[in-house]
Amino acid sequence: MNDEATMMPLTVAQVAQAVNGRLIVPQTAVHDADAVVTSAVSDSRQVREGSVFVAIAGERVDGHDFVAKAAQLGAAVALVQHEVEAPVAQIIVNDTVDALGALARANIAARRASGEPFTIIGITGSVGKTTTKDLTAALLSTVGPTVAPVGSFNNEIGLPLTALKVGERTRFLVAEMGASHVGEIARLTRIAPPDIAVVLKVGVAHLGEFGSVERIAQAKSEIVQGLVPGGTAILNADDEHVAAMAAIAPGDVLWFGIQDQHDGRVDLLTARDITTDDLDHPSFTMIAADGERVPVTLGICGAHNVMNALAASSVARTLGMSLTDIASTLAAQSRISPHRMAVSAVQRAGGQFTLIDDSYNANPDSMKAGLDGLARWRRGGVKPFRVAVLGAMLELGGDEKALHESIGAYAAGLGLDAVVAVGNATDEHFDQLAGAIADGARQALAQGEQDAQHTDGDTTASVDWVHNADQADARVAELAREHADTVVLLKGSHFSGLSALAERWSAAGEPGAAA
């Protein structure tokens, strides 16, 4: 991928014009209105010579407090909402987040105006966005210089900062677009209008914010509506809400999916004969609409990632990659963004275990996918002792308690050996949601309601409800000491703090050692 992170050439004065701001240049400033900016950042620690520093006033930290530091590090100009006493040129605007978007939009427009080939791929969906983004970027980087966000930079701040890494040599921008409200993706597409839009799935993530699945579908459809004239929509044929978006596509519609019935859709990339190995690496036959087929083995874990790989492959094939080259590149991708099915070996408090870190975030669909992966895990064909460490899920609306109970029951139905539900002693609501996971697991075990389709053998699982990461750490270490071959899945919302626990464990382990 493109690591130069150098935006299109703009002077400080042109930046002010792009954001419709008022430029002031203190006499003590090193850079004047004619200085050329080279990058844009909102974290003063990332400032380098020639940067635009965007001062954003957050809930806990106000970027205006770091303008002077940005000046010391060589910033050419600061975007601010009020003048700051600092030796740096400043552009005063009403809202620096809006100004950041305007600057990114100007950068993309300048790149398009150059006349050189340039393609924006926008990706959205309730689950799988970041993994699909990572796989798409890996594929396209074999074709030309590619810019993509690190991790899940997919909102009104993250997407513009990524778009401002697009420079004169950039061939592809892979933009992840997320939303918790109707209208957010539309805003992002106005900043970076995609040539290709990928829609993965309409699920129940953020259901509490949207109010209904139909509203979630409406929000996701904004990426299709935001396509450039004649742009291509790549849609999940297995999801009825996504498939319906074909009606609003402004150009070609391509499909991906694994179900047998697709109503005669001809432009379909599909997977057949899906299997997984002992470490849950999927293998399948990828089949194009013209009948071409190629065997694929993913370097990342999780059968659910077959759909993400199909989506990414659809993009790459549309842009000229052969199925053979796609397959070899997918096989080489063993690590993607942090905290997404990352495997490592951990030694902790006298015990050792294999960690499957999928702790970045969680919703019912991704929870089930992670649990399925844990259930499939084998070592030499033998089941290890399998522990699911689960945090609460947020923004699920009025059914949140029942949804958490259903996840606990689902984990119990898979025949796992232990479930550790992790709450929060300082947040009663969050803590009670974790308790609902434990309740659901206990009820399912007590009533023997294990789904025969998923059961992996009779077991008497232990179920624990703990109230912070330290207690979870201690319980997992205890289980690992008692069972020589232990595998631990870590899965929960970002607020659960499980990603911090993953970092703690990673410091005591060796990334990829168990893979």
Distance, CA of 147 to CA of 137 (rounded, Å): 7
pLDDT at 122: 97
- DSSP category for residue 228: P
- Residues 128, 360: contact at Cβ < 8 Å? no
What are the structure tokens assigned to 32, written together? Answer: 């004047």
Question: Residue 381: CB partners within 8 Å, gap ≥ 6?
Answer: 278
Query: For the chain, what is the largest distance between any 2 Cα atoms, rounded to a whole number of angstroms?
Result: 76
Quote the tokens at residue 423.
């709450």
Per the annotation, does 101 bind a ligand?
no
- Band (pLDDT 50/70/90 cuts) for residue 44 is very high
Mean pLDDT of 166-186: 92
Least confident range of 109-113, 174-178, 248-252, 344-348 = 344-348
Give pLDDT tens digits for 439-485: 999 999 987 644 444 445 444 789 999 998 899 999 999 999 999 89
Residues 6+ positions from 323 with CB-CB distance below 8 Å:
286, 288, 292, 293, 294, 313, 317
Q: Under DSSP, is residue 365 helix (H, G, I), strand (E, B) or coil? A: helix
Backbone angles phi, psi at 216, to 5 degrees: -60, -45
Rounded Cα gap, residues 266 and 75, in angstroms = 52
Residue 129 annotated as part of some ligand binding site: yes
Task: Flag whether pLDDT at 143 surpasses 90.
Answer: yes
Looking at residues 296-306, what average pLDDT do you find?
91
Domains in the chain (CATH in brackets) are 10-98 (3.40.1390.10), 116-332 (3.40.1190.10), 342-511 (3.90.190.20)
- Tokens representing residue 450 in the block: 């294990």
Give the list of residues 6+ apart from residue 250 with CB closer than 8 angstroms, or none. 224, 227, 228, 229, 230, 231
Task: For residue 342, name the pLDDT band (cuts at 50, 70, 90).
Answer: confident
Tokens of 124: 């959205």
φ/ψ region of 125 (left if φ > 0, alpha if ψ in -120 to 50, else beta) reads left
Q: According to the annotation, is 63 in a ligand binding site? A: no
Backbone angles phi, psi at 252, to 5 degrees: -65, 150
Chain position carrying tokens 């699909």: 132
Sign of CA dihedral 393, 61, 180, 103: negative
Q: Which pLDDT tens digit goes with each residue over 401-427?
A: 999 999 999 999 999 999 999 998 888
3-state class percentages of the chain: helix first, strand second, coil last, to nearest 5:
35, 20, 40
Inform me whether the pLDDT recorded for 120 exceeds 80: yes
476 close to 348: Cβ distance less than 8 angstroms = yes
| 128 annotated ligand-binding residue | yes
182, pLDDT greater than 90: no
Using DSSP bridges, classify how beta strands 342-348 and 509-511 pair: parallel, antiparallel or unpaired.
Answer: antiparallel
What pLDDT score does 191 carry?
96
- Going by C-alpha positions, the residue among 23, 48, 46, 26 that lies closest to residue 38 is 48
393, 396, 401, 405: CA torsion to nearest 10: -60
Query: Where is 474: in which H helix or E strand?
Result: helix 469-482
Q: Tokens 């206990």 label which residue? A: 442
Q: What is residue 470's three-state secondary structure? A: helix
How far is it, in rounded angstroms, from Cα 236 to Cα 245? Answer: 10
Q: 185 pLDDT band (50/70/90 cuts)?
A: very high
Q: pTM of this prediction?
A: 0.80
Residue 142 marked ligand-binding: no
Dihedral sign from CA coordinates of 332, 335, 341, 345: positive
**Cβ neighbours of residue 406 under 8 Å, at least 6 residues apart?**
364, 440
Q: Which residues of 229-263 are buried (b: 16+ CB within 10 A; e: fewer)?
A: eebbbbbbbbbebbbebbeebbeebbbbbbeeebe
What is the distance between the alpha carbons of residues 157 and 188, in angstroms, rounded to a whole number?
10
Sign of CA pseudo-dihedral 55, 52, 159, 113: positive
* 367 backbone dihedrals φ, ψ, rounded to 5°: -60, -50
DSSP string for residues in 30-86: SS-TTPEE-EEESSGGG--TTEEEE--B-SS-BGGGGHHHHHHTT-SEEEESS--SS
Question: Is 5's pLDDT higher than 80?
Answer: no
The per-residue DSSP string of 247-308 comes to GG-SS-EEEEE-SS--TT-SSEEEEEEEEE-TT--EEEEEE-TTS-EEEEE-SS--TTHHHH
Q: Is the pLDDT of residue 512 over 60?
A: no
Is 131 marked as binding a ligand?
A: yes
Q: By C-alpha distance, which of 496, 453, 456, 280 is closest to 370?
A: 280
- What's the distance, CA 339 to chain centroid? 10
Amino acid type, 141 = S
127 marked among binding-site residues? yes
> What's CA 214's distance to the chain center, in Å?
22
